[in-house]
DNA sequence: ACCTGAACACCGTTCAAGT
DNA sequence: ACCTGAACACCGTTCAAGT
């Protein structure tokens, strides 16, 4: 009914007997990394902690709360540089690359971003530092938020399809050759698309994605920088 | 095992007795619009077509195939302008706004983007035309794809959180006042964030999101344009 | 060719009951 | 304070059987 989040209510007092929140979250992240979002069920997580499936409900009101916790946990892996030392453009750039790497390391993140509120301490810390970066750059007022939203939208939007591609490939094995043939067939009636598929035929897809990410990131940063000079 | 998609195999010959694929897809989109991704189950969709839950498996191999069909269906709602007539920047801009509107109209799209392959005719048509736009702009080689990826990443990444916000608000009712208070509490230790929350306190959130989207879109377009002048 | 119902192996969550 | 098992109301998908 009301807007809720794990972070908006008091947690169980830690330090008692029984499992700790950290233990549970760590196990959840493990399971998510191994089996993906669909692989995480309360029963499986319970088993991994050698507990009954429903014991978890003592620590967590709902599965979504558990996901919020796991979510914030990995936000802690982001690298935030100090814009006063390295300059805002480098700081933002490092953060963007770091966000991408964390997402690639935890592919289930893509499914959660934008679906869950990001009010955990780690997520807030990153957001706080990012605001700082754009203020150092010279943005003022709402533009600070707009710039931040633009940057994260880009990174998130660029990395999500990359993850999907990875996992599609992971399941298929690396028969890139055969699948390119089928894609070419699907694309047969679209002249521009044929050109695109053919052009990328002999490129290394992994390297290509790095190039693409950097191309877009530079574009976004240039475009943001332009907002400052008027 | 192998990489699959509805679009890569022959459909049931249409025109026979029984339900048509269009009928089923239309019902699926309806149900998705009304109840969201979690609201669509094979049983509910079957009921809506006054059929047994499992009858659908005659037309569709799996639920994901059904989603692929619904997915491509709404790609058909995108507005694609002719860059030779209106210029590449306007054409891209119109497409970007259109993508956002379609996503807001079908919030479940956000959950599917990047999760499913987009090999349907409507999605390919849009991609084809977008490639055209960036070629008219002057991009060559892989840069055409990079520019397209950047643009769609931005729109997708920007609109996904907007949808999440909308649905969170939809469930809560519009007690924006109370929830801003709780957010402020969560954010208490992060000085930059406090400023951000306070600043936006009396702004109309809906108008704010339009502004934010346009700010970012102009930035992305400026940044892309800059790639052309070197 | 098309549709059905029963069945299988799962889910998240509640709750009374145990220690 | 913490944990359990049984139970409820769901899932997607398979398959033998019907018309």
Residue B163 has pLDDT above 70, yes or no: yes
Mapped onto helix, strand or coil, the DSSP state of residue B201 is: coil
DSSP string, A31-56: HHHHHHHHH--HHHHHHHTTS-GGGG
Count of structural domains, chain A: 2
Give the pLDDT score at B72: 97
Structure tokens at A83: 């814009």
Measured from the Cβ of residue B2, the count of other Cβ atoms closer than 10 Å reads 11
| Mean pLDDT on A61-84 | 97
Answer whether residue B168 is part of any domain: yes
> Is residue B67 located within the same domain as residue B104?
no
CA A63 to each of CA A58, A199, B224: distance values in angstroms, whole numbers, following the listed order: 12, 45, 41
Q: Cβ of B150 and A154 within 8 Å?
A: yes
- Non-local (6+) Cβ contacts of B113 within 8 A are A160, A161, B156, B160
Determine the residue of chain B that is closest to A152 in CA distance.
Answer: B157
Among the candidates A45, A75, A105, a domain finishes at A75
Residues A108 and A21 both lie in one domain = no
Which is more confident, A110 or B114? A110
Based on the fold, state whether residues B102 and B119 are members of the same structural domain.
Answer: yes
Q: Put residue A78 in one of left, alpha, beta given phi > 0 → left and psi -120 to 50 → alpha.
A: beta
pLDDT value for B1: 42
Closest CA to B152 of B82, B75, B41: B75
In a domain, A62, yes or no: yes
Give mean pLDDT, residues B190-210: 90
Name the least confident of A163-167, B6-10, B158-162.
B6-10
To test the contact with chain A by mutation, choose from B99, B150, B159 the residue with the greatest count of A C-beta atoms within 10 A, namely B150
Is strand D less than 7 A from the beta carbon of A51?
A: yes
Q: Mark the nucleotides of strand D covered by protein, meaning any atom under 7 Å from a CB.
A: 1-6, 10-15
SS3 content of chain A, % helix, strand, coil (to 5): 70, 0, 30
Hey, how many other C-beta atoms are within 10 angstroms of the C-beta on A129? 18
**What is the spatial distance, in angstroms and rounded to an integer, between the CA atom of A56 and the C1' atom of C18?**
17
Residue B104 and residue B209 share a domain:
yes
- Residue pair A124/B193 in contact (Cβ under 8 Å)? The answer is yes
Q: Would you give the distance in Å from CA A67 to the centre of its chain?
A: 13
Whichever domain contains B28, its CATH number is 1.10.10.60
Q: Which amino acid residue lies closest to nucleotide D5, measuring CA to C1'? A: A52
* Contact: B150, A124; criterion CB under 8 Å: no
Residue B205 lies in a domain: yes
Please, which residues 4-43 of chain B have a Cβ atom closer than 8 Å to chain A?
5, 7-8
> Domain range spanning residue B17?
6-75
Q: Tell me what pLDDT residue A174 has.
A: 58
**What residues 97-156 of chain B have any CB closer than 8 A to a CB of chain A?**
110-111, 113-117, 119, 121, 124-125, 127-129, 131-132, 135, 141-147, 149-150, 152-156
Domain match, A219 and A107 both? yes
| Nucleotide C2: closest residue by CA–C1' | B18
Domain boundary among A75, A105, A128: A75
Position A169 scores a pLDDT of 76
Taking 60 as the threshold, does the pLDDT of residue A1 lie above it?
no
Q: Judge whether residue B174 has pLDDT over 60.
A: no
Q: Which residues of B96-114 are buried (b: 16+ CB within 10 A; e: fewer)?
A: bbbbbebbeebbbbbbbbb
Question: What number is the average pLDDT over the span B122-144?
Answer: 97
Mark which of A21, A47, A75 sits at the end of a domain: A75
In tens, the pLDDT along B45-97 reads: 999 999 999 999 999 999 999 999 999 999 999 999 999 999 999 999 999 99
Question: How much helix, strand and coil, in percent to the nearest 5, is found in chain B?
Answer: 70, 0, 30
pLDDT in tens, A206-219: 899 999 999 999 99
pLDDT digits (tens, 9 = 90+) for A100-153: 999 999 999 999 998 888 999 999 999 999 999 999 999 999 999 999 999 999
Is B48 domain-assigned? yes
Predicted confidence at residue A4, as pLDDT, reads 82
Check residues A93 and B184 and name the one with the higher pLDDT: A93
> Does any domain span residue B1?
no
- Is A1 part of a structural domain of the chain? no
- Which pLDDT belongs to residue A173? 61
Q: Say whether B220 and A221 touch across the interface (CB within 8 A).
A: no
- Spell out which residues of chain B touch residue A3, defining contact as CB-CB under 8 Å: 168-169, 171-172, 175, 179, 182
Name the nt closest to A50 by C-alpha to C1'.
D3
- Is B205 an interface residue toward A (CB < 8 Å)? no
Distance CA B8, CA A178 (A): 12
CA distance A63 to A65: 5
Q: Are residues A180 and A159 in the same domain?
A: yes
pLDDT of residue A34: 97
Of B1, B141, B190, the CB nearest to A124: B190
The B 153-192 residues near strand D by Cβ under 7 Å are: none
Residues A34 and A115 in one domain: no
Residues of B in contact with A163 (CB under 8 A): 114
Q: Which of A120, A128, A214 to mutate to test the interface with B (most CBs of B within 10 A)?
A: A128
- Range from A31-35, A103-107, A139-143, A173-177 carrying the lowest mean pLDDT: A173-177
A188 occurs within a structural domain:
yes
Assess whether B45 (CB) lies less than 7 A from strand D: no
Confidence check: pLDDT of A13 > 90? no
DSSP letter string, B146-171: HHHHHHHHHHHHHHHHHHHHHHHHHH
Instruction: Choose the most confident range, by mean pLDDT, from B9-23, B110-124, B138-152, B160-174.
Output: B138-152
Give the SS3 label for residue A21: helix
Number of Cβ atoms within 10 Å of the Cβ of A203: 11
Choose the closest CB to A192 out of B131, B163, B171.
Answer: B131
Same domain, A17 and A128: no
In a domain, residue B190? The reply is yes
Residue A12 sits in the same domain as residue A32: yes
Asked whether residue A70 falls in the same domain as residue A96, the answer is no
- Over 90: is that where the pLDDT of B32 sits? yes
Over residues B135-155, the mean pLDDT reads 98
**Mean pLDDT in chain A?**
92
Same domain, A55 and A90: no
Give the CA angle between residues A181, B58, A186 to the nearest 5°. 20
Contact predicate A180/A197, CB 8 Å: yes
Look up the pTM and report it: 0.95
Does the pLDDT at position A179 exceed 90?
no
Domain containing B202 — which CATH number?
A: 1.10.357.10
Query: Do A116 and A187 sit in the same domain of this protein?
Result: yes
Give buried/exposed letters for A141-175 (b at 16+ CB in 10 A, else e). ebbbbbbbbbbbbbbbbbbbbbbbeeeeeeeeeee
Do the Cβ atoms of A3 and B168 come closer than 8 Å? yes
């Amino acid at each position: 009914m009301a807007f809720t989040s794990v972070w908006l209510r008091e947690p169980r007092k830690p330090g008692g007997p029984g499992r700790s929140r950290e233990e549970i979250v760590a196990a959840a992240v493990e399971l998510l990394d191994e089996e993906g979002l669909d692989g995480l069920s309360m029963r499986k997580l319970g088993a991994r902690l050698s507990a009954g499936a429903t014991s978890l409900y003592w620590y967590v009101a709902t599965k979504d709360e558990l996901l919020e916790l796991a979510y914030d946990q990995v936000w802690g892996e982001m690298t935030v540089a100090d814009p006063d030392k390295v300059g805002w453009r480098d700081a933002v750039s490092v953060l963007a690359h770091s966000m991408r790497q964390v997402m690639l390391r935890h592919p289930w993140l893509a499914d959660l971003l934008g679906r869950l509120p990001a009010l955990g301490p780690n997520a807030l810390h990153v957001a706080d530092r990012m605001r700082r970066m754009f203020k150092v750059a010279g943005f003022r007022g709402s533009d600070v938020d707009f710039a931040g939203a633009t940057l994260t939208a880009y990174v998130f939007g660029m990395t999500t399809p990359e993850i999907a591609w990875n996992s599609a490939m992971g399941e298929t094995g690396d028969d890139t050759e055969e699948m390119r043939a089928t894609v070419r067939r699907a694309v047969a009636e679209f002249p521009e698309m044929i050109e695109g598929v053919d052009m990328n035929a002999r490129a290394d897809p992994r390297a290509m994605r790095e190039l693409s990410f950097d191309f877009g990131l530079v574009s976004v940063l240039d475009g943001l920088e332009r907002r400052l000079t008027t």
